[in-house]
Amino acid sequence: MNKKGFVSLVGAGPGDADLMTVKAVRLLQQADVVVYDRLVSADILNLIPTTVDRIAVGKEVGKHCVPQEQINEIIVNQAKSGLQVVRLKGGDPYMFGRGGEEALTLKKHHIPFEVVPGITAASGCSSYSGIPLTHRGMSRRVQFITGHFNNDEPLNLNWKLIADPDSTLVIYMGLLNLPLVVDSLIDAGLSASTPAAAVQNGTTNSQQRVITTLAQLNDEIQQKQMKAPVIIIIGKVVSLADELDWFQNSIK
């Protein structure tokens, strides 16, 4: 086959298909094959033409359906077959999405690629929960951290730096280690009464949220029996959630 393969690393956004970029949708329509993650919603998968091959490589914490090395191999092999490949990733490829690793693999194999940003969970879930990530007098900066290290390594973070009362803290993949995160933040000086939120299945019709305090966050999540995908938002801006909520009431 003389046709040259090409890979588009595409962000699918946080779940609502309407939040995908025009370019992302166009690439789905033009693809030969779509390699997609577990967190890509059914509504987004329905945008893929029935004539396009699909390869599911979904991963869950503690249940790695397809190891990252094998995902890399699948993408490379599909491209080397001369196909137009869309690697469809939840959120944004370069925000805790391991998109950089996949891009480096493609570079190593001399496979041309592009990266199409998507709305990351922090932005999408906060907006759909009535929480501005920044707000004058409440938050001067935003911190994005992961609550789960690769290969279940210990969560070794600079808690003193992270526990900033004038910032908004957004935690990806934070459920498993949430008790440790909460205790570490409080021990580092962040007030136990700091507003905190958890958002499950953000931007979709099954979205659920918990608005509480840092000290009560883990108990509230347990009571609601929340399960991944959940994004955690901590900071003064969470106090605006009820007043600025526009989405939650619309899905009840």
Secondary structure of residue 65 in the 3-state scheme? coil
Q: Name, in order, each residue with C-beta under 8 angstroms of 77's C-beta and a sequence gap of 6 or more.
A: none
**Active site amino acids:** 37, 59
Q: Name, in order, each residue with C-beta under 8 angstroms of 162's C-beta and a sequence gap of 6 or more.
A: 143, 145, 169, 185, 188
**Spatial CA neighbour of 167 closest among 238, 235, 240:** 235
Encoded tokens for 84? 């137009």
For residue 137, count other CB atoms closer than 10 A to its CB: 7
What is the identity of the amino acid at 134?
T
What is the identity of the amino acid at 222?
Q
| C-alpha span between 211 and 120 (Å, rounded) | 21
Locate all alpha helices (DSSP H) within the chain, ordered by sequence: 22-30, 42-45, 68-80, 99-108, 121-127, 159-162, 178-187, 217-224, 241-244
| C-alpha span between 20 and 17 (Å, rounded) | 6
What is the identity of the amino acid at 163?
A
- What is the residue whose two structure tokens read 């953000």? 202
